[in-house]
A and B are shown apart, each in its own frame.
Chain A
Amino acid sequence: MAQRTTVTVTVNGQEYTREVEPRLLLSDFLRHELGLTGTHVGCEHGVCGACTVLLDGQAVRSCLMFAVQAQGHRITTVEGLAPGPDPEQLHPLQRAFWEAHGLQCGFCTPGILMSMVPFLEENPDPSEEAIREALSGNLCRCTGYQKIVEAVKLAATMGTRER
């Protein structure tokens, strides 16, 4: 059977070491080796954005990376945004999505959240156009994007309130 390599990564603040095949995708590693199934896979070829996670704070598509390439890096997945589904503990962006009905089936949502977290950090007060541009790397088949845009706007205002 194929050779295996050791990989050590920090995911949502916790360090994991696993023996993996070099060809294992980061998305599959997170989902199936670590059981962090909040990261979704919609296309496996880097277009839909459902698999977006943060690698050292930058949004990346985990289906376009091998797990071994994450060696030594810090990853945040959607599970890292809030300790659990308790409404009290949601991240402001998650609260805004809830409030504005920014999701339907919710399949694209983790990837959208993980794309918008760094976007809002860099653009605390984005225009609608900038939001749409930033969202254009994530496909959503349910919402028509309008309420996602509204949710991101709302999060921007909530973010400033909290600061």
Chain B
Amino acid sequence: MTTRYFGQPVKRNEDPRLLTGRALFVDDVDLPGMLHVAFLRSDLAHARIRSIDVSRARQRPGVVAVYTAEDLGDFWRHGPLLVPPPPVEGIVFHQRTQVTLAKDKVRHAGEAVALVVAESRYLAEDALEDIFVDYEPLPAVVHLEEAAQDRVLVHEELGTNVSAHVVQRKGDYESARAQADVVIRRRFVYDRGTAAAMENRGIVAHWDPKAETLTVWDTTQAPIPIRNGLAAMLGLSEHQVRVIAPFIGGGFGPKIMMFYPEEMLLPWVSMQLGRPVKWIEDREENFYATTQERGQIHDAEIALTRDGRVLGVRDVFLHDQGAYAPYGLTVPINSQCTLLGPYDVPAYYSEFTALFTNKPIVTPYRGAGRQHGVFVMERLLDIAARELGMDPAEIRRRNFIPPEKFPYNNEIIYQDFAPLVYDSGNYEPALQRALELIDYRRFVEEEQPRLRAQGRRVGIGVVCYIEGTGIGPYEGARVTVESTGKVSVATGIGTQGQGHFTSFAQVVAEQLGVDVADVHVVTGDTDMFHWGTGTFASRGAVVAGNAIHAAAVRVRQKILRMASEKLEAAEEDLELVDGVVRVKGVPERSIPLGQLAVEANPLRGAVKPGTEPGLEASDFFGPERGATASGVHAMIVEVDPETFLLTIRKYVVVHDCGTVINPLILDGQIQGGVAQGIGNAFYEQLHFDENGTLLNASFMDYLIPTATDVPPIVGDHVVTPSPLNPLGIKGAGEAGAIPVGALFAQALENAFSDLGLEIREIPLSPNRLYELVREAQEASGHGASDGPGPGTGSP
């Protein structure tokens, strides 16, 4: 190939539309006769509904309809279980999924109890005030350990708050422990945050009674499953339903929770009323009604030899599902499965209990449980290093899976229901590179002692992680050369800012020798392509990317076959360059692809038997298992000893996600992920009171990082191609966010190492850090006024 598009930092095709305000987002859809929906949501986290009186709301001028659970008739239902429990022996699993509207009882604050349809959103919200709900408040199950006691039940009929119980094992932990020189045991807590995509959720549903078609614009990451599910729920054929996920203002996981109650109700309401209806979530609703994540308590133990070799890990944890668990066990399974990270650990015992609580629903949010596992393992290693007098980087290096051990079987069942087998990896060079970039030795040996002597609180951290990415089942795509010579690509996944319009175009441009700007990618419209699952688990580039590659390869073969006849040259002697196919070395003997496309689709004469018309092909890709990406983050941080505010002096990411399609887009994914990780580690925490009320449900009180909180990130890549797909790529969407909590803990601890500060929880905050430092000071006998002591030498 003469021009390489693959691997280049190509500017994005979608940007001019986004930059000029001409890109369509769901809230931009405006249809004639459209009505607006507002939801009445419970203020209480747990209460019995004695009665609901909507009569006044119904009479308000401008109100078209009001529905409670009662009014839904047969359509009242539980949402489907999205991910069934994995095939682990002895598993306990109690299925409870969200309902369209709460009936009899509300189980979390923000659960919808009624909806109003009116001529405008303002009127619909006015009418919410007219509805009277008579609640009998119940004590709320808020904390995980409280939930485990089963004194108050979220779902009474279960007789327990246990949603699931899973035990997985690798090797024999007890005998590993018996041989250990050192055993360390700690409790770790990882609390809740929210994805807070800048665009809230929204749905527009339009039932056209004459055409008998339903069109739904939805801020979903998975339009095809939404279409299929809606068709089934509404008794329609799949071809009567079109779901469009247009431009989406950030997804990060919660936009793939299927089905949100609103997603089921809006289409139904449109069919009832025969008019288009729109609901756009507001930010306050987003804090309750959009799913959240994190919320685990781990009791973990690590057994090591004196020279720092890990013999085994035991971890028993509680996982917060929230009030319902539509996503099954994906999050805790990911925690369980990712915990061992890049380390060669022979024995592992992991047991979790997932619990229902009276809090908003938990489903995957960028990282999807991996953070927690990584946090536990990295913390255990840090504490072990301290106890053994080892350098934290060294203890990691000593335990890495060596390159010759790949594929490496981790033996623990992963979210795709197969044991997680690491396809490829080479961890030591990434660690080495990160240490160089952060200038580890010099910092530890020279700079830190000097700064400490000046009374400054500076700390360094370095952490490692792996991420299972790009899981199946499959994605598909259709690639078409049009008569203009431009190429169109249709695939089923939704896209939320990852640059798929460009990276997919690059994959096609590489095969067909056309300009990236001439490849038009359509994603997320089920009328354009209706096979596939969605964008989650860092799988867009891996799975859809490879499907597009496969389809493009087939189109290329068609082009070569046809052109070889027309140009009377062997296929091997042809090349595709600049939108033409030509004979190598004889550029005048060429045909533009557009012309070939016209000739491949003749109006007269016959298409040759055994060939298909047009320069078009569809293909699919289903990886046999996920590709395992990995990386190392390192940071130098300074804490203001008065305010406990942080300044991140340097942040380094060295990442391995196999072959890179577009380095510009990849850097953006990593940087954005780190920013979310920083928020999660130090700024963002959802505070629920003992009644299950969320105390900080606004951007005024829930602080997401701004441009002054996020440092520039120094990045580098190591490339270990995945052997599992032709392009050699691994997913990258979540990597930036995964290890940041662990990194903060280590670096902050290091800044206060003279006090023996130990951090066992995330998220932190300036206040919380202050409290922890105070406790450490008291325990170590340092007065609060004591300046920083000398460095311990071990970071």
What is the interface of chain A, defined by CB distance below 8 A to chain B? 1, 21, 23-24, 31-32, 35-45, 47-48, 50, 77-79, 81-82, 84-87, 90, 94, 97-99, 101, 103-110, 113, 131-133, 135-149
Nearest chain B residue, comparing its CB with the CB of A78: B21
For residue B414, give the distance in angstroms from its CB to the closest CB of chain A: 27
Bound-complex Cα distance A107 to B496 (A): 10
For residue A32, give the distance in angstroms from its CB to the closest CB of chain B: 7
Nearest chain A residue, comparing its CB with the CB of B17: A85
Whether A146 contacts B283 by the Cβ 8 Å rule is no
Partner of B699, one of A43, A98, A143: A43
Whether B672 contacts A44 by the Cβ 8 Å rule is no
Residues of A within 8 A of B258 (CB): none
Bound-complex Cα distance A98 to B19 (A): 8
What is the interface of chain B, defined by CB distance below 8 A to chain A? 11-12, 14-25, 27-28, 30, 61-62, 122, 195-200, 247-250, 252, 282-283, 496-499, 664-665, 667-669, 671-676, 698-700, 704, 706-708, 710, 712-713, 736
Nearest chain A residue, comparing its CB with the CB of B366: A141
For residue B665, give the distance in angstroms from its CB to the closest CB of chain A: 7
Whether B16 contacts A98 by the Cβ 8 Å rule is yes
Instruction: Please give 20 more A-B residue pairs, beta carbons under 8 A apart, in addition to A37-B21, A90-B19, A144-B672.
Output: A35-B30, A37-B25, A40-B249, A78-B20, A84-B20, A85-B16, A103-B18, A104-B499, A105-B198, A106-B247, A107-B199, A107-B250, A107-B497, A109-B19, A113-B19, A132-B708, A138-B706, A144-B736, A146-B713, A149-B707
Partner of B20, one of A90, A105, A139, A147: A90
Bound-complex Cα distance A35 to B22 (A): 11
Q: If the complex has contacts A42-B198, A43-B283, A84-B22, are A90 and B250 also in contact, measured as CB distance less than 8 A?
A: no
**Chain A-chain B contacts (Cβ-Cβ < 8 Å), number:** 191
Q: If the complex has contacts A106-B249, A135-B706, A143-B675, are A101 and B664 also in contact, measured as CB distance less than 8 A?
A: yes
Nearest 10 A/B pairs, CB to CB: A38-B21, A105-B497, A107-B249, A106-B18, A144-B675, A144-B671, A104-B497, A135-B707, A37-B28, A47-B699
Bound-complex Cα distance A131 to B708 (A): 9
Bound-complex Cα distance A40 to B280 (A): 12
- Ordered by A's residue number, 14 sampled pairs between the chains whose C-beta atoms are within 8 Å are A40-B25, A42-B249, A47-B698, A97-B15, A99-B11, A101-B665, A105-B250, A107-B197, A110-B21, A138-B707, A139-B704, A140-B198, A144-B671, A147-B668
Q: If the complex has contacts A37-B21, A110-B21, are A146 and B671 also in contact, measured as CB distance less than 8 A?
A: yes
Whether B20 contacts A106 by the Cβ 8 Å rule is no
Whether B672 contacts A143 by the Cβ 8 Å rule is yes
Bound-complex Cα distance A103 to B15 (A): 8
Whether A147 contacts B247 by the Cβ 8 Å rule is no
Bound-complex Cα distance A65 to B277 (A): 26
For residue B58, give the distance in angstroms from its CB to the closest CB of chain A: 16
Residues of A within 8 A of B496 (CB): 105
Whether A145 contacts B198 by the Cβ 8 Å rule is no
Most buried by B among A31, A94, A131: A94
Residues of A within 8 A of B712 (CB): 146, 149
Nearest chain B residue, comparing its CB with the CB of A152: B707
Bound-complex Cα distance A10 to B199 (A): 27
Residues of A within 8 A of B17 (CB): 85
Nearest chain B residue, comparing its CB with the CB of A93: B19
Residues of B within 8 A of A35 (CB): 30
Whether A141 contacts B704 by the Cβ 8 Å rule is yes
Bound-complex Cα distance A64 to B194 (A): 24
Residues of B within 8 A of A148 (CB): 707
Partner of A109, one of B18, B248, B700: B18
Whether A147 contacts B671 by the Cβ 8 Å rule is yes
Partner of B22, one of A85, A103, A133, A144: A85
Residues of B within 8 A of A104 (CB): 250, 497-499, 668-669, 672
Bound-complex Cα distance A94 to B22 (A): 13
Whether A105 contacts B247 by the Cβ 8 Å rule is yes
For residue A18, give the distance in angstroms from its CB to the closest CB of chain B: 14
Whether A107 contacts B700 by the Cβ 8 Å rule is no
Bound-complex Cα distance A136 to B19 (A): 20
Residues of B within 8 A of A146 (CB): 671, 710, 712-713
Nearest chain A residue, comparing its CB with the CB of B517: A87
Bound-complex Cα distance A133 to B709 (A): 10
Bound-complex Cα distance A159 to B99 (A): 55
Q: If the complex has contacts A85-B20, A105-B247, A147-B671, are A45 and B497 also in contact, measured as CB distance less than 8 A?
A: no
Bound-complex Cα distance A110 to B248 (A): 14
Bound-complex Cα distance A68 to B669 (A): 41
Residues of A within 8 A of B676 (CB): 141, 144
Bound-complex Cα distance A1 to B669 (A): 48
Bound-complex Cα distance A30 to B497 (A): 24
